[in-house]
Every structure is written in structure tokens, then in C-alpha cells.
Structure 1
Amino acid sequence: MQVTRYGDARSYEAPEHYGMHCLRLQGKEATATDTIWIGLSHLLPGGHTSLKDATVEKIYIVVAGEVTVETGSECVTLGFLDSCRLAPGEARALANRTNAPASILLAMPT
């Protein structure tokens, strides 16, 4: 078993993420996972990402506040424990359009 305590989770820099603090909870340098890694991002009010695609699917789960997810054709605001899946190649932008902090889990293949 490999445990990552929240207080010990390491931060990482994600390109084109603004007003966000990202933590690696599982996978990559945090633990020896075979297929996925999981991150937790805290978005300050006004925090956001650029509209960008990835070659792999992504799953987001909001664990605090509200996060707006935009694709090239859709825009949805997710609340507590709402989730979404983005297909490989599907561009996405995240934004916290509220005055309160928000947090979102990310799961994606390694």
C-alpha cells in the first residue's frame, strides 16, 4: 500500500494554469501506479486554465465550490461531487467564476 497524506502531497506546475495550486496525490512521482495518476487542484476566485486538448481522456470531480468546464461546443458549471469526462483530443478550459475558492480532482492515464 502506498499512502499519500494530504499534508505531504507535492505541488506541481501545470502549463497554462493560472490562479491555481496543483497537488499530486497518486501516480507519477507520488506513488508507483500502473495506469492512472490523480491530482487535486485548488482554484482561487478567477483561477482558470487555457482552452487546451490532451491526447488522453480526463475525469474531473469537484470536491469544493463550483468549477466551470468549457469545451469547444459546451459550457457547464459543476458543483460539489459533480463530475465530467473529457475524451482524448477534446479541448477543455476550467474556470472558477465565483468569489469563493474551489477544488477539483483530476484522474487521467499515466
Structure 2
Amino acid sequence: MHVVRYAEAPAYDAPGHHDMHLVRLQGREAGPADTVWIGVSTLEPGGGTTLDASNVEKMYVVLDGEVTISNGREEERLQQWDSCRISPNEARQLRNHTLGLAKILLVMPLQTTGPPR
């Protein structure tokens, strides 16, 4: 068993992210994992990501607040416990259009050909 306390989860940076605080809960520098890593992103009001694609599947679950997610063609506002899958090579952009903080859980495979996003 490997436990990571949220208060001790290692922070990380990712390209194209602004006004966000990113931590890993499991995998990579947060500890051992065989197939996926899990992180939590806190989006400040106005915070988010650029519209970008990667070669891996991404799963998002809104933990708190509201997050707008777009693939460049469609846009959806997700609220607490709503989830979204982004397929490999599909663009995605996250935005917090509210005045409060938003938190989103991210699950991604460990195998990537570029830097983690």
C-alpha cells in the first residue's frame, strides 16, 4: 500500500497551464504505479489550459466548482462529479469561468512520448 496525503502531494508544472496549482496524488514523483498516474488541478478564477492535444487518453472528474472543457469544436460546462474523457490526439482546453476555485481530478496513463500535461 502506498498512501499520499493531499497536503503532502508533490506539485508539478505543465506547459500551457496558467493560474493553476497541480499536484500528483499517485504515480510519477508521487510514488509507484504500473499503468496510470492521478493528479488534482486547482483552477483559479480565469485559470485554465491552452487548446492542445497529446497522444494519450485523459479522464477528468470535477471535484469542486465548475470547469468548462472544450475540444475546439464542442464546449461543455462540467459541475461537481461530472466527468469527461478526452481520447488520444483529441485537443482539450480547460477553463474556470467562475469567480470561485475549481478542482478537477485527472487520470492519465504513465506511457507518454512527451512531457506530462
Classify the TM-score, shorter chain. over 0.9
* Amino acid in the other structure paired with 1:108: M
Alignment of 1:17-96 (within 5 A): 17-96=17-96
Q: Deviations over 1:44-98 (max 9, x none)?
A: 0000100000100000000000000011211000000000000000000000000
Number of equivalences:
110
Equivalence for 2:113: none
CA distance in 2, matches of 1:107, 1:45: 23
Which structure 2 residue ranges, 5 or more long, are not aligned?
111-117
Equivalent residue of 2:7, what SS?
helix
Partner amino acid for 1:27? Answer: G
The answer for the alignment partner of 1:100 in structure 2 is 100
Superposition misfits of 4+ residues, deviation over 2 angstroms:
none
Gaps of 5+ in 1: none
Identity %: 53
In the superposition, the TM-score normalised over structure 2's length comes to: 0.93
The one-character-per-residue Cα deviations of 1:15-67 (angstroms, maximum 9, x if unpaired) are: 11000000010001111100000010000000010000010000000000000
Give me the whole-angstrom Cα distance separating, in 1, the residues matched to 2:29 and 2:10.
Answer: 9
